Amino acid sequence: MIKFKSTKILVQSIVIMFIIILLLIIRITVKPSIHMISGNSMVPTVKNGDYVVTTKVKTINRYSIVVIKENNSEELLIKRVIGIPGDGIVRSGNNVSIVNKMIRNSDFLYNFRVSNETLIELRSHTHIPFNKYFVIGDNLEYSRDSRMFGLIDEEQIIEQVKGKLFPLSQFELLYKKNKATSNFFFY
């Protein structure tokens, strides 16, 4: 009986050590962070007061939700990547359309009304340049994004949102969302 208990304790100790080592490896290699959302620019995907888990960016894909640092500001913003390098830019008045040339039968456009500053920046471009991105909030009415401050540099994208952590009743992995499953609309 004593031998059985000591074997059981040894197995439990090994399992606990394995879990601790695994968690340390994940923490060291993935380096997740937790951020509390402040604001409504990404409603309905994430709301004011929600907590999200982020990791360092490996690759930036269309529809990824990212944490960015706006130029000349320490403020972090959470936005969705809509325009990626190589996408076409079509200007008409104060409207800008982002055209994805890679989609077959592409008459699919993202059309936005933009600020004069963004219009001036985009005037010299027919395509989104290398290492530049167009980002928006899912809640267009309440979002300060590329429509106001223009294209962002790749270096401004500091983390990618992987999931919504709290409230637990709304736990959701967000990194697998794409256009087909996202809850945002364009006008």
pLDDT for 25 equals: 74
Task: Decide if 143 is catalytic.
Answer: no
Burial class of residue 140, CB neighbours in 10 A (0-12, 13-18, 19+): middle
- 23-50 residue pLDDT tens: 777 667 667 788 888 999 999 988 999 9
Q: Write down the catalytic residue from 79, 132, 162, 164.
A: 79
Mean of the pLDDT values across residues 99-119?
Answer: 73
**Beta carbons within 8 Å of 88's beta carbon, 6+ residues apart:** 97, 98, 99, 100, 101, 126, 127
Q: In angstroms, rounded to a whole number, what is the distance separating the alpha carbons of residues 50 and 1?
A: 50
Task: Decide if 164 is catalytic.
Answer: no
- 156-182 residue pLDDT tens: 999 998 878 766 666 666 655 544 334
Q: Write down the catalytic residue from 41, 64, 143, 146.
A: 41
Q: Which helix (H) or strand (E) holds 42?
A: none
Q: In angstroms, rounded to a whole number, what is the distance separating the alpha carbons of residues 93 and 7?
A: 76
